[in-house]
């Protein structure tokens, strides 16, 4: 168990600065693109950053202004891929001659964590988790283990993925995006394969101190399986093992993404969650991307703090209007399943 004390998010919705998640911003050109703020990053450094690095650093810096952390833990799947492809193209274009070093430096996924460390002069633990759709979940597990060993430490935990042109083309060719031009509200009503491409960066300040926390992480678990019954059983055992005795889940925050091929997994987990709890969905806010669980966690913190949920997120209204325990379930391409149990701080 660990506690979240501060949070920050750059996403396709108004989640940075003046937060407004009640107003739903629709996709643009079949993509939910992040609303990038005016970054508090030196211009000479900013202009050399790729989009994923800008978003990750931009979301992290407000949390680090007056706070020293003992380490930086980032999860990503596509971070750095765009700069990597630019560098590879230059190798061909210039016949392995004079190449631009900036694209090479930022072509690796650990560029986000590295830049945050450099800008804040942080020489502590610095790691990037790359596990496709479970990158952020394993980052959370890493943070939990570190805080178990070093209970007095504080860590920056986060995730970032952008949807660059190359990323979009690759995912679209694999059939993971819808062909229809739909709004966010229509995402769950169009019974076709695929989802809407998205992107976001979410960052959290975490430690073992309960005082002043906005939320607590009770447990994180993962599963690799295509078997619906195995996923349902995993969720059943997850709840049984980690939910505190005498307490119940008040909200099931589902990563349902409008892809009819994956709906069976979400419906089975909804059934296991029970008939009297509130079910809410979040992919119409941020789109589908590998580390969307981080966006869900940010939303969970917001819901626990405000004790309210935007109407556009609600799929099923539960018997209680108070939220104490939230179960997040996310699914990446039917194979990777992540479960997060969080509670009010």
The predicted structure's pLDDT at residue 306: 95
Is 293 in contact with 157 (CB distance < 8 Å)? no
pLDDT at res. 105: 65
- 48 and 118 housed in the same domain: yes
Which residue range is the domain that position 319 belongs to? 215-344
**123 and 184 fall within a common domain:** yes
Q: What is the mean pLDDT of the chain?
A: 93
- CA separation for the pair 237, 235 (Å, rounded): 5
Which domain-ending residue is among 207, 238, 268?
A: 207
Indicate if 193 and 229 belong to the same structural domain.
no
What value does the mean pLDDT take over residues 97-122? 81
* Whether residue 188 is found in the same domain as residue 60: yes
With CA atoms as reference, report the closest residue to 289 among 199, 222, 179: 199
Residue 103 pLDDT grade (very low, low, confident, very high; cuts 50, 70, 90): low
Is residue 83 within 8 A of residue 50, CB to CB? The reply is yes
Same domain (yes/no): 186, 266: no
pLDDT of residue 274: 84
130 and 230 within one domain? no
Indicate the DSSP class of residue 57.
Answer: H
Which domain-ending residue is among 152, 180, 207?
207
Do both 301 and 196 map to the same domain?
A: no
Residue 26 — φ and ψ, nearest 5°? Answer: -75, 165
Give the 3-state secondary structure of 232-278: HHHHHHHHHHHCCCCCCCCEEEECCCCECCCHHHHHHHHHHHCCCCE
Q: Which residues contact 189 (CB under 8 A, 6 or more apart)?
A: none
Can you name the residues that pair with 195 across neighbouring β-strands? 177
pTM of structure: 0.94
For the segment 5-29, the average pLDDT, to the nearest whole number, is: 96
* Domain C-terminal end among 164, 186, 207: 207
Residue with tokens 């952390």: 69
Q: What is the pLDDT of residue 104?
A: 65
What pLDDT sits at residue 92? 80
In the structure, what pLDDT confidence band is assigned to residue 320 with cuts at 50, 70 and 90? confident
Question: Are 41 and 128 found together in one domain?
Answer: yes
Q: Are residues 181 and 294 in the same domain?
A: no
234 and 171: one domain? no
Write the CB contacts of 48 (distance below 8 Å, at least 6 apart in sequence). 102, 106
Q: Do 76 and 27 contact (CB within 8 A), yes or no?
A: no
Confidence label for 91 from pLDDT (cuts 50, 70 and 90): confident
**Count of the separate structural domains present in the chain:** 2
| 225 lies in the same domain as 191 | no
Does the pLDDT value for residue 82 go beyond 80?
no
- Quickly state the pLDDT bin for 107 (edges 50, 70, 90): low
> Do 19 and 52 sit in the same domain of this protein?
yes
Domain containing 88 — which CATH number? 3.40.47.10
Nearest to 283 by CA among 8, 11, 4: 11
């Amino acid at each position: 168990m660990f506690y979240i004390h501060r949070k920050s998010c750059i996403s396709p919705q108004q989640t940075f600065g003046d937060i407004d998640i009640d107003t739903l911003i629709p996709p643009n050109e079949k993509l939910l693109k992040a609303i990038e703020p005016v970054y508090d990053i030196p211009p000479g450094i900013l202009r050399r950053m790729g989009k994923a690095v800008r978003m990750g650093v931009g979301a992290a810096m407000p949390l680090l202004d007056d706070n020293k952390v003992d380490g930086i833990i980032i999860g990503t799947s596509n971070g750095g891929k765009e700069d990597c492809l630019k560098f590879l193209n230059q190798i061909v274009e210039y016949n392995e001659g004079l190449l631009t070093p900036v694209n090479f430096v930022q072509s690796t996924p650990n560029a986000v964590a590295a830049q945050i460390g450099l800008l804040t002069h942080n020489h502590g633990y610095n790691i990037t988790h790359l596990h496709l759709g479970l990158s952020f979940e394993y980052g959370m597990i890493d943070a939990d283990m570190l805080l178990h060993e070093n209970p007095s430490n504080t860590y920056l935990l986060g995730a970032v993925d952008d949807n660059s042109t190359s990323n979009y083309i690759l995912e679209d060719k694999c059939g993971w995006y819808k062909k229809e031009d739909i709004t966010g509200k229509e995402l769950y009503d169009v019974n076709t394969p695929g989802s809407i491409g998205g992107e976001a960066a979410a960052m959290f300040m975490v430690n073992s101190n309960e005082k002043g926390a906005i939320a607590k992480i009770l447990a994180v678990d993962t599963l690799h399986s295509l078997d619906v019954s195995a996923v349902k059983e995993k969720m059943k055992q997850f709840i049984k093992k980690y939910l505190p005795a005498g307490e119940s889940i008040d909200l099931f925050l589902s990563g349902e993404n409008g892809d009819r091929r994956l709906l069976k997994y979400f419906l089975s987990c909804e059934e296991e969650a029970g008939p009297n709890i509130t079910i809410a969905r979040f992919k119409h806010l941020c789109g589908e991307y590998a580390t969307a669980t981080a966006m869900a966690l940010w939303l969970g913190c917001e819901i626990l703090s405000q004790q309210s949920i935007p109407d556009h997120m609600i799929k099923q209204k539960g018997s209680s209007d108070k939220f104490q325990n939230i179960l997040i379930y996310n699914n990446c391409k039917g194979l990777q399943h992540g479960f997060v149990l969080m509670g009010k701080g």
